[in-house]
């Protein structure tokens, strides 16, 4: 991924009070996939309301989050984020939620080496209607330093095998790189769709 090109505007900076800016509005549907307990819901909670839940319970089926982010050079982005429950027993439900997605985050837990067939499975799910759907690979739980089992080489090899747009390591506990994940995704979507 190249240089970071997005300029974020502070939330308190109201566009309605400032006639110099004519805000554009974008709506992006983004999927979040990955095996059970890798930290999908926890990452979305951190992103959307800034909280960390150490005892997050398994998502039943699919959950939905929404967040607006302002970028100075883009406009107002509404992110509709679909949290796909990772447990196998919900797999048959997921298909109904994939249509119309512009991008996907694929999460794995940095303390456990991901199984390649599981990654393939998720790639196939999120790309079922769009073979070119941009996928961002996200390693979670970076704060569990002593237990990290996935080296950068292995993760980058997964990223390259499936032509993903980038690989980012995160912690929902410390908050590191959580916003960056969405900034990189939005930047990719702006480029891809030539908005
Ligand atoms: N230390 C640490 N724990 C985390 C982190 N992210 C998630 N967890 C923990 O991992 C467990 C599973 O997190 P969830 O967010 O529920 O996992 P999920 O991917 O949504 O799981 P499903 O809903 O079953 O698909 C919870 O106990 C979280 O508190 C992190 O960054 N650091
Ligand atoms: Mg969940």
> Is the pLDDT at 14 greater than 80, yes or no?
no
Long-range own/partner contacts, residues 146-152 (CB < 8 A, 24 or more apart)? 147/111, 148/110, 148/111, 149/110, 149/111, 149/112, 149/113, 150/108, 150/110, 150/111, 150/112, 150/113, 150/114
CA 140 to ligand 1: nearest atom: 31
Is 81 within 8 Å of 67 (Cβ atoms)?
yes
Domain boundaries, the chain: 7-192
Report the SS3 class of residue 87: coil
Those residues whose C-beta lies under 8 Å from the C-beta of residue 162, and which sit 6 or more positions away, are 119, 120, 123, 135, 137
The pLDDT, as a whole number, for residue 184 is 97
- pLDDT-based confidence at residue 150 (cuts at 50, 70, 90): very high
Angle CA 107–112–117, to nearest 5: 65
> Is the pLDDT at 13 greater than 50, yes or no?
no
**The domain 7-192 is classified under which CATH number: 3.40.720.10, 3.40.50.300, 3.40.50.720, 3.40.50.740?**
3.40.50.300
Closest ligand, as measured to the CA of 33: 1
| Residue 191, number of CB atoms within 10 A of its CB | 13
Ligand 1 neighbours by CB, cut-off 6 Å: 34, 36-42, 53-56, 58-59, 85-87, 140-141, 143-144, 171-173
Mean pLDDT taken over the chain: 91
Which tops the pLDDT comparison, 155 or 7?
Answer: 155
- pLDDT tens readout for residues 31-55: 999 999 999 999 999 999 999 999 9
Which tops the pLDDT comparison, 194 or 35?
Answer: 35
Tell me which residue of 186, 193, 159 sits closest to 77, measured CA to CA: 186
> Is the pLDDT at 9 greater than 60, yes or no?
no
- pLDDT tens readout for residues 85-125: 999 999 999 999 999 999 999 999 999 999 999 999 999 99
The pLDDT, as a whole number, for residue 8 is 59
Which residue's C-alpha comes closest to atom 10 of ligand 1? 39
């Amino acid at each position: 991924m190249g240089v970071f090109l997005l300029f974020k505007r502070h939330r308190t900076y109201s566009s309605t009070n400032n006639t110099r800016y004519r805000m554009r509005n974008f709506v992006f549907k983004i999927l979040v996939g990955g095996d059970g307990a890798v930290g999908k819901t926890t990452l979305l909670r951190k992103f959307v309301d800034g909280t960390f839940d150490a005892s997050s319970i398994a998502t039943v089926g699919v959950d939905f989050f929404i967040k607006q982010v302002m970028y100075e050079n883009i406009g107002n982005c509404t992110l509709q984020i679909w949290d796909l429950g990772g447990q196998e027993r919900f797999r048959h439900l997921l298909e109904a939620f994939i249509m119309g997605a512009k991008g996907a985050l694929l999460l794995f837990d940095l303390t456990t080496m991901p199984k390649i067939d599981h990654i393939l499975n998720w790639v196939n799910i999120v790309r079922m209607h769009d073979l070119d759907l941009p996928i961002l690979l996200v390693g979670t739980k970076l704060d569990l330093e002593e237990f990290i089992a996935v080296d950068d080489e292995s993760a980058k090899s997964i990223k390259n095998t499936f032509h993903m747009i980038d690989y980012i390591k995160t912690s929902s506990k410390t908050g590191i790189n959580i916003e960056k994940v969405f900034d990189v995704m939005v930047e990719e979507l702006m480029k891809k769709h030539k908005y």
